[in-house]
């Protein structure tokens, strides 16, 4: 399997020794700052709520104690709360992805205690939909639109009683009280890009793409499954974006 180079491009030996396609994630980085800013707001609001309103609503503090809260200080703490979470989330996300890849290829369970609960919850969901693995960490590319990427899983599964085939992508996020994560449009665009490239390479049509969101704090697992009609718009958005990225690259 070809690996992405440090500049964010995949060598495509099938098409020639010097052929390199931009990676899906490198292209999406053009838009990532908007998602990051939204995430900072989300975790800041959650932090402010936990340190002010929630203790009063739960009966842990009196109304007089609530009135004595230094809201200016609490807002300052909330504003920079994302800095405490960003490093933790990246580290957990990398280890979780690696653990799931090892499990799917060997059946081995992680020994890392921090991963155990999230791993067990994810495997339980996979078993509930009768997931049948076809490929793990598979590199795919689109010759038509000149991009490449490595998808997490290609699998057969059961949704709404019907057997279907598609791709799954794991995403990790932080947040103590967030029950349903923010599904960023770029996550759907990435998913659509993988589905499109897989279909172009193999000639096989897929039925769905799925995002398996894992909370790094609570270890809860939230699956989000999108069938073909729901992936048309994000796929087209990605194709437009990667076209722009490739145009800028040729202009250098």
CA 152, CA 48: separation in Å to the nearest integer? 35
Tell me the three state secondary structure of residue 25. Answer: helix
CA 61, CA 82: separation in Å to the nearest integer? 26
Q: Give yes or no for residue 194 having a pLDDT over 90.
A: yes
Tell which residue, 122, 218, 115, has the closest CA to residue 170.
122
Greater confidence (6 vs 95) lies with 95
Using one digit for the tens of pLDDT, what is the confidence trace for 23-58?
A: 999 888 876 655 566 666 676 677 777 777 787 788
Angle between helix axes 113-128 and 81-106 (nearest 10 degrees) is 60
pLDDT band at 229 (very low <50, low <70, confident <90, very high): very high
Using one digit for the tens of pLDDT, what is the confidence trace for 107-164?
A: 999 888 889 999 999 999 999 999 999 999 999 999 999 999 999 999 999 887 788 9
Average pLDDT, the chain: 84
Greater confidence (66 vs 168) lies with 168
Phi, psi of 57 (to 5 degrees): -65, -30
- Give me the residue spans of the domains in the chain: 9-34+85-251
Tell which residue, 126, 124, 113, 174, has the closest CA to residue 152.
126
CA 82, CA 74: separation in Å to the nearest integer? 14
**Mean pLDDT value of segment 234-239:** 94
pLDDT at 211: 95
Range in 72-81, 206-215, 226-235 the model is least confident about:
72-81
**Mean pLDDT value of segment 171-189:** 75
Using one digit for the tens of pLDDT, what is the confidence trace for 196-226?
A: 999 999 999 999 999 999 998 889 999 999 9
Specify the pTM.
0.76
pLDDT at 57: 82
Q: Please give the biggest Cα pair distance in the chain.
A: 72
Q: What is the DSSP letter of 61?
A: S
User: CB-based contacts of 242: which residues, under 8 Å, 6+ apart?
Assistant: 22, 24, 27, 145, 146, 147, 193
Q: Give yes or no for residue 87 having a pLDDT over 90.
A: no
pLDDT at 202: 95
Q: Does domain 9-34+85-251 have CATH number 3.40.50?
A: no
């Amino acid at each position: 399997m070809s690996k992405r180079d440090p500049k964010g491009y995949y060598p495509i030996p099938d098409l020639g020794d010097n052929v390199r396609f931009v990676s899906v994630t490198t292209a999406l980085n053009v838009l990532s700052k908007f998602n990051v800013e939204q995430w900072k707001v989300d975790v800041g609001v959650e932090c402010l709520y936990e340190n002010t309103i929630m203790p009063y609503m739960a009966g842990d503090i009196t109304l007089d104690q609530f009135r004595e809260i230094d809201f200016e200080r609490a807002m300052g703490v909330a504003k920079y709360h994302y800095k405490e979470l960003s490093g933790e989330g990246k580290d957990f996300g990398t280890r979780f992805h690696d653990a799931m890849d090892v499990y799917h290829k060997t059946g081995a369970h992680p020994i890392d205690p921090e991963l155990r609960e999230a791993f067990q919850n994810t495997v339980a969901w996979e078993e509930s939909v009768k997931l049948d693995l076809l490929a793990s960490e598979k590199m795919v590319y689109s010759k038509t639109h000149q991009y490449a990427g490595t998808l997490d899983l290609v699998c057969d599964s059961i949704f709404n009683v019907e057997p279907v085939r598609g791709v799954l992508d794991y995403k990790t996020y932080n947040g103590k009280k967030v029950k349903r994560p923010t599904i960023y449009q770029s996550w759907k665009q990435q998913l659509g890009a993988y589905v499109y490239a897989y279909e172009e390479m193999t000639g096989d049509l897929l039925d769905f793409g799925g995002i398996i969101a894992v909370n790094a704090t609570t270890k809860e697992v939230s699956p989000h499954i999108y069938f073909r009609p729901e992936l048309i718009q994000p796929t087209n958005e990605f194709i437009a974006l990667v076209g722009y990225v490739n145009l800028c690259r040729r202009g250098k």
